[in-house]
């Protein structure tokens, strides 16, 4: 299996599509926001780019839903099994480092039932208090579990369940993939920043603000869109009157640059944690990229 990753605006999708087409493969997305239907411009789906290459894990749940890592690994495995049963190669493509690393390491997460008593007990605690409790059970590598009280309570619920059921430990132990080639799209900081800004302008010109208005008009609560961060956070704040257009653009542009930096921090962390990433230039012609990728697999 090939895995194509890298920061936002690096051109991952184009490279993954070219490789998948060359080997007769199918693409599984590893993007945490392209999962949602109706969130197209803001997540950069660029579905036309896929052409005749089949893709999976895009547009699989409604906007407003809060998808999680357990669900991703469950649905990824179903896609993986389906594609391999049809003897097709797989190209995993996306920049959500937690998804990519979990797949590479072969992480499995058994389902955890709801604990109503625990939820009631934790319901009055602040996010800071919940964070302290969660840290007793696990090391926090990012803020995804503690961005809201609801998510923090669920994370505690899961961590305590595994702690109280040690027989599940074997199921949660990583089983790293042995046949995966991880390729990172290497792009210098200045070029990345320029591409982020130009892409943001293009998506706004294409109607990204109207997309957010349609989502709100369809009944999705503004706070649920703000939860997704980046484009949906700042454009929603603009739509509901919290930011002017210029304030929205400036703050969103800065947030995307910061996001790309965090992505690179995660990828470097992956390398330190034992996952080799083969970095290939973003501007490498597709035919050369394909040849280089195949050589890494040989």
pLDDT of 144: 62
* Structural domain spans, the chain: 2-107+174-297, 116-172
Query: What local confidence, expressed as pLDDT, does residue 214 receive?
Result: 98
In angstroms, what CA-CA distances link 280 with 139, 209, 284?
A: 32, 34, 7
- Residues with Cβ within 8 Å of 195's Cβ and at least 6 positions away in sequence, in order, are 9, 10, 187
Low-confidence ranges of the chain (pLDDT < 70): 141-145, 169
What pLDDT is stored for residue 262 in this prediction? 95
CB atoms under 10 Å from CB of 106, counted, come to 14
Four-residue CA torsion sign, 2, 33, 10, 6:
negative
Is 94 within 8 Å of 31 (Cβ atoms)? yes
Q: Let me know: does 267 contact 5? Beta carbons within 8 Å.
A: yes
Q: Which two tokens stand for residue 36?
A: 């949602």
How many helices (H) and strands (E) would you count in the chain?
A: 13, 8
Distance CA 12, CA 22 (A): 15
pLDDT attached to residue 175: 83
CATH of domain 2-107+174-297: 3.40.50.300
Tokens at 220, concatenated: 């999705």
pLDDT score recorded for residue 143 = 64
Q: What is the pLDDT of residue 105?
A: 94
What's the whole-model pTM score?
0.88
């Amino acid at each position: 299996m090939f895995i194509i990753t890298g920061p936002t605006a690096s051109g991952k999708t184009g490279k993954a599509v070219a490789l998948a087409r060359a080997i007769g493969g199918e693409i599984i997305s590893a993007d945490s926001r392209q999962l949602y239907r109706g969130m197209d411009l803001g997540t950069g789906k660029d579905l036309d780019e896929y052409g005749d290459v089949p893709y999976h894990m895009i547009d699989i749940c409604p906007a407003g839903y809060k998808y999680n890592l357990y669900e991703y690994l469950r649905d990824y495995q179903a896609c993986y099994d389906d594609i391999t049963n049809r003897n097709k190669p797989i190209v995993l493509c996306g920049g959500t480092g937690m998804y990519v690393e979990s797949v590479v390491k072969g992480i499995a997460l058994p389902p955890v039932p709801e604990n109503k008593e625990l939820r009631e007990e934790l319901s009055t605690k602040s996010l800071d208090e919940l964070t302290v409790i969660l840290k007793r059970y696990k090391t926090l590598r990012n803020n995804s579990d503690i961005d809201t009280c609801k998510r923090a309570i669920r994370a505690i619920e899961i961590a305590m369940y595994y702690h109280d059921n040690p027989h599940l430990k074997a199921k949660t132990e990583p089983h790293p993939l042995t046949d995966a080639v991880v390729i990172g799209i290497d792009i210098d900081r200045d070029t990345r920043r320029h591409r982020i800004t130009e892409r943001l302008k293009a998506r706004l010109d294409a109607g990204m603000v109207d997309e957010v208005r349609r989502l709100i008009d369809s009944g999705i609560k503004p706070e649920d869109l703000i939860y997704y961060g980046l484009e949906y956070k700042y454009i929603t704040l603009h739509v509901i009157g919290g930011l002017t257009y210029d304030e929205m653009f400036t703050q969103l542009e800065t947030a995307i640059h910061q996001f790309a930096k965090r992505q690179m921090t995660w990828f470097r962390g992956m390398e330190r944690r034992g996952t080799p990433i083969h970095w290939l230039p973003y501007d490498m012609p597709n035919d050369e990229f394909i040849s280089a990728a195949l050589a890494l697999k040989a």
